[in-house]
Amino acid sequence: MIRLLWQRLLWAIPVLWLVLTITFVLLRVAPGGPFDSERQLTAEAAAQIAAKYQLDQPVMVQYGSYLVQVLQGDLGPSFQYPDQTVNELIAYGLPISATLGIWALLLALLIGLPLGVLAAQRADKPTDFLIGITAVFGISVPNFVIGPLLILALAVYWPLLPVGGWNGGQMNHLVLPVITLALPFIAYITRLFRGALLEELQKPYITTARAKGCSESRVLWMHAFKPAMLPVVSFLGPASVGLITGSVVVEQIFGLPGMGRYFVQGALNRDYTLVLGVVLVVALLMLIMNTLADALYRWLDPRAGEQR
């Protein structure tokens, strides 16, 4: 396990560096600067602003100093929100996105796994068929279609829940965004777990357990459950990536001030430092989540470590 973490740490360095460099190059090659939209500045003021944000330095110097800065954990000042640093903006937005993501993941597991078990128990019966169709539906309908429809149904026509907004993260403000974000993952986990369970239940050791007189529920929960979790666990890595991108849309729909919103706004406003900061944080999160998923996988299946 320790070795895995070390490997991942070493692996993270080139990946993060690459992400940083690619975004930096993209941002600098792009036409249009961060201060273009403002009213015409005098040459003096423009020079002053450029000096403040080091835009007058050669690109390589900017790159170097940014790299050093980031290594010290400082993502620099925001171009668009002059009074705030990118660190502050992310520190404000990240908890909101994270809350959304964690709840959605929990919900996906808490609903997806039982549904998967149910479908596997009733394989090829009407219940299974119904769950299967619903799952395809859940995977196919994009969250930016489901979200607004949920708003229309549960907040406008039948005003049970607020239309949007964060409001300090009150529970009722969380319900719709979390459901919207979770739906495709519920569907995906259901399908994945059903398939894995069915495959597992055909293996010889299950036959042995049954022959020894284990009850069906003991066979399912004590024997088949853990190995069948493996595909679900390896899905958690990509799932977290999906949750991050999904929350960009969900934050847009429900007007939540999370990281995704900052990213879209920052990209539109050419807020160089903010965009770079968000992309770096997202890349870091992806690496962390993938590592966690891998660690969990190895804990469940120790053989996985030995093979490589």
Partner 1 sequence: MKIKLALSWLIIMSLWVIIGPWLSSQQPDFIHWDAMAQAPGSQFWFGTDVMGRDLYVRTLLGGRLSLLVALVATCMSLLIGVSYGLLSGYLGGRTDRFMMRFLDVLYALPFLFLVILLLVFFGQHMILLFIAIGGYIWLDTARIVRGQTLVLKKQAYVEAAQAMGQSTTRILSRHILPNLRGVVIVYATLTIPQVILIESFISFLGLGVQEPNTSWGTLVSEGVDNLQTAPWSLWIPGAFLSLTLMAFNLLGDGLRDYWDPKRLRPR
Residues at the interface with partner 1 (CB under 8 A): 11, 14-15, 18-19, 22-23, 26-27, 29-32, 136-137, 139-142, 144-145, 148-149, 151-152, 156, 241, 244-245, 248-249, 252-253, 263-264, 267-268, 270, 275, 278-279, 282-283, 286-287, 290
Q: What minimum distance in Å lies between the beta carbon of 188 and partner 1? A: 11
With respect to partner 1, which residue has the nearer C-beta, 10 or 171? 10
Q: State the amino acid at position 220 in one-letter form.
A: L
With respect to partner 1, which residue has the nearer C-beta, 15 or 107? 15
Q: What minimum distance in Å lies between the beta carbon of 213 and partner 1? A: 31
Q: What minimum distance in Å lies between the beta carbon of 18 and partner 1? A: 6
Count of residues in the chain: 308
Q: What minimum distance in Å lies between the beta carbon of 217 and partner 1? A: 29
- Considering only CA atoms, which of 130, 81, 4 is closest in space to residue 277? 81
With respect to partner 1, which residue has the nearer C-beta, 15 or 230? 15
Q: What minimum distance in Å lies between the beta carbon of 141 and partner 1? A: 4
With respect to partner 1, which residue has the nearer C-beta, 220 or 258? 258
With respect to partner 1, which residue has the nearer C-beta, 193 or 219? 193
Q: What minimum distance in Å lies between the beta carbon of 256 and partner 1? A: 14
With respect to partner 1, which residue has the nearer C-beta, 196 or 244? 244
With respect to partner 1, which residue has the nearer C-beta, 99 or 240? 240
Q: What minimum distance in Å lies between the beta carbon of 29 and partner 1? A: 8
d(CA 61, CA 193): 51
